A and B are shown apart, each in its own frame.
Chain A
Amino acid sequence: MVKIMNKLKSEKIKKKLLDSSVGIAGLGGLGSNAAIALARAGIGKLVLVDFDLIEGDNVTRQYYFLDQIGRAKVDAIKGNINRINPNVNVVVHNLKLNKGSMEKPFKDVDVIIEALDNAETKANFIEEIMLKLPNKPIVAASGVAGYGHSDRIVTKRCGNLYLCCDECAPSSDDDVLLAPRVALMANWEANLALEILLGEDK
């Protein structure tokens, strides 16, 4: 009986995820890892936005490979997702998000993930989404630098904003970015997105 229940639950989740879409702003340490996690989970559609090329030191924590250095992040991540789960409909925008039109690529997704790097840009993005797309759930992250202190990370909710944060963390301007903590928060964001899409797992 338990086995049948589990199978029903997993089929239901599979179907729901296949019908769902997530938009990700930024494809650095947070965005690239969150995109891969959601692709593996079986999300139907991803809308990915970044303007950067892959640099050598990105490979220390972002989901790219040495032979992809110099390529556009949007193209490389699309290729990487395709090697894991070719059923994901990956829509990419190779552009810089500018104040005044930041919400545009994300109008039709179910959940937005903020995965930008600079604090000012993060705040601007969240503010603009909350203002222009007030009904859209947005998942953001703050305080990814350093290592250790996994237990300081918490989820804060304010209306449709879900913030994965460590308030005591240093800024990345003053501290190192290392794969374990960056990936931890990226997966925290992806996990929150699933919870929003599927409802709380009871």
Chain B
Amino acid sequence: MSIEVNGKNVDWVENENVENLLKRMRYLFPLVIVKINDKVVPKQDFSKAMIPDKSKIAVIHMISGG
């Protein structure tokens, strides 16, 4: 019962949506893209899209500097 978030193994939580997963991971950087099993989740669906068990999540965020 685990998922992979940006290469790290993390416990899977039942009925967790993208928004709550991001909070749990403390991803506070401005987000660009979230992908579940290589499928992009649009921003407006973060509270609707559920995280399936054994899924691979990629979170691309931006860090300041330039």
A140:B65 contact, CB within 8 angstroms: no
- Asked whether, in the complex, the Cβ of B65 is within 8 Å of the Cβ of A143, the reply is yes
Residues of B within 8 A of A28 (CB): 66
Is there an interface contact between B66 and A158, defined as CB atoms closer than 8 Å?
Answer: no
> Roughly how many angstroms separate A163 CA and B29 CA in the complex, as a whole number?
15
Chain B residues with CB below 8 A from A126, complex form: 32, 62
Interface-facing stretch out of A15-23, A70-78, A82-90, A110-118? A110-118
Contact, CB under 8 Å: B64 / A163? no
A93 to chain B, nearest CB (A): 17
Q: Once A and B bind, how many residue pairs between them come within 8 Å at the CB atom?
A: 81
B65 CB contacts on chain A under 8 angstroms: 29, 117, 142-145, 169, 171-172, 177, 182
Does B31 count as interface, using CB distance less than 8 angstroms? yes
> Nearest 7 pairs between A and B by C-beta?
A172-B65, A123-B30, A117-B66, A144-B65, A122-B62, A119-B64, A145-B65
Q: Is B48 an interface residue (CB 8 A)?
A: no
Interface residues as binary, A103-137 with B (CB distance below 8 Å gives 1, 0 otherwise) = 00000000000011111101110110000000000
Cβ–Cβ < 8 Å partners of A30 in chain B = 66
Residue B2 lies at the interface, judged by CB distance under 8 Å to chain A: no
Given contacts A31-B66, A172-B65, contact A119 B30 (CB under 8 A): yes
Give residues of chain B (7-66) contacting chain A, Cβ–Cβ below 8 Å: 29-33, 35, 40, 43, 60-66
Q: List chain B residues, Cβ under 8 A from A124.
A: 30
27 contacts between A and B (CB under 8 A): A29-B65, A31-B66, A117-B64, A117-B65, A119-B29, A119-B30, A119-B62, A119-B63, A120-B30, A122-B30, A122-B32, A123-B30, A123-B62, A127-B32, A141-B66, A142-B61, A142-B62, A144-B63, A144-B65, A156-B60, A158-B35, A161-B32, A167-B6, A167-B63, A171-B63, A171-B64, A172-B63
Does A26 count as interface, using CB distance less than 8 angstroms? yes
Residues of chain A contacted by B63 (CB below 8 angstroms): 119, 142-145, 165-167, 169-172
Contacts from A to B (Cβ < 8 Å): 26, 28-31, 115-120, 122-124, 126-127, 140-145, 156, 158-159, 161, 163, 165-167, 169-173, 177, 182
Nearest CB on B from A59, distance (A): 16
Chain A residues within an 8 Å CB radius of B29: 119, 171
- Chain B residue at minimum C-beta to C-beta distance from A181: B65
Complex CA distance for A84 and B32, rounded to whole angstroms: 36
Q: Is the CB of B33 within 8 A of A161?
A: yes
Whether B32 lies near A123 (C-beta < 8 A) is: yes
A178 to chain B, nearest CB (A): 11
